[in-house]
Amino acid sequence: MSGQILIISGPSGSGKSTLLSRLISEFDNIYFSISSTTREPRDGEQNGVNYHFINVDEFQKGIDEGKFLEWANVHKNYYGTSLEPVEKALKDGKIVIFDIDVQGYHLAMKKYSHIITSVFVTTKDRHELKKRLTKRGSDDAQTIENRLFNAATEIAYISEYDYLIINDDLDSSYERLKSIFISLSSKTQSFNLNDVIESWSEC
Ligand code: ADP
Ligand code: 5GP
């Protein structure tokens, strides 16, 4: 078996982390790619669990040394996906999950398009997104405005994704994500097809 990549993008506050934490707690064969970021941790976020929280100099060093599979400046902070652990998890046949923005999705597609399945998660409208960002309570008013502005830009790319989840009711959104996830292990690219064909040619 060879690994697959599941990319989840969508406006900040649409519910990506909430959906993914359910998925990660239910399934074993997942490697969740922990990104590095220069943004400040939110209350409850842990270094090495939600993100690797690093400073700008450390991030720049990572770029210079080619440590990132992709990186982007999102909402005035840097975010990047580490290359090495992802390559290892793919070799081990895991389903690797990235929670990354549209720029990161475009970059990842350049190298891994043959094994990527992508999902865009959004609220039904801007009003609901603002409500959730406000309720989450981790951002000041200016940051929330910034995130809402970015959301409008990201929405324009929905058509480039394989699946769309409008995260209204959490339980049904989770069921949708789960069924997408389960289908990945049946993709023909997940199998070593030579082995499958060879076992057919044996008498
Ligand atoms: P993201 O990871 O996309 O930035 P979060 O998972 O942090 O978003 O969710 C943002 C906020 O919205 C959190 O307070 C979360 O509990 C809440 N939330 C997530 N999904 C739903 C939903 N379907 N209905 C109502 N609130 C939700
Ligand atoms: P947040 O600050 O809300 O955790 O994330 C802000 C945005 O950055 C989200 O759209 C999230 O998907 C994106 N993001 C998180 N990690 C990465 C990463 O490693 N690369 C890229 N390109 N985007 C990321």
pLDDT in tens, 34-84: 999 999 998 889 999 999 999 999 999 999 999 999 999 988 899 999 999
Cα 117 to ligand 1 centre (Å): 22
In a domain, 102, yes or no: yes
In a domain, 201, yes or no: no
User: Which ligand is nearest to the Cα of residue 133, counting in written order?
Assistant: 1
70: CATH: 3.40.50.300
Tell me the C-alpha to C-alpha distance, in Å, between residue 154 and each of 57, 113, 120, 130.
28, 20, 10, 15
pLDDT in tens, 102-127: 999 999 999 999 999 999 999 999 99
What's the total number of domains in the chain?
A: 1
Residue located nearest, by CA, to atom 10 of ligand 2: 101
Domain hosting 49: range is 4-186
In a domain, 203, yes or no: no
pLDDT in tens, 141-194: 999 999 999 999 999 999 999 999 999 999 999 999 999 999 998 999 888 899
In a domain, 200, yes or no: no
User: Which ligand is nearest to the Cα of residue 15, counting in written order?
Assistant: 1
Query: Rounded to whole angstroms, how far apart are CA atoms 173 and 155?
Result: 18
Q: Which residues contact 177 (CB under 8 A, 6 or more apart)?
A: 19, 23, 119, 165
In a domain, 198, yes or no: no
In a domain, 167, yes or no: yes
Backbone angles phi, psi at 185, to 5 degrees: -75, -5
In a domain, 195, yes or no: no
> Which residue, 8, 19, 6, 7, is CA-closest to 167?
19
pLDDT in tens, 20-30: 999 999 999 99
Indicate the top mutation candidate among 20, 51, 136 to test ligand 1's pocket, ranked by most ligand atoms within 8 A of CB. Answer: 136
In a domain, 173, yes or no: yes
Query: 32 in ligand 2 pocket by Cβ < 6 Å?
Result: no
Residue located nearest, by CA, to atom 16 of ligand 2: 100
Query: Rounded to whole angstroms, how far apart are CA atoms 43 and 38?
Result: 16
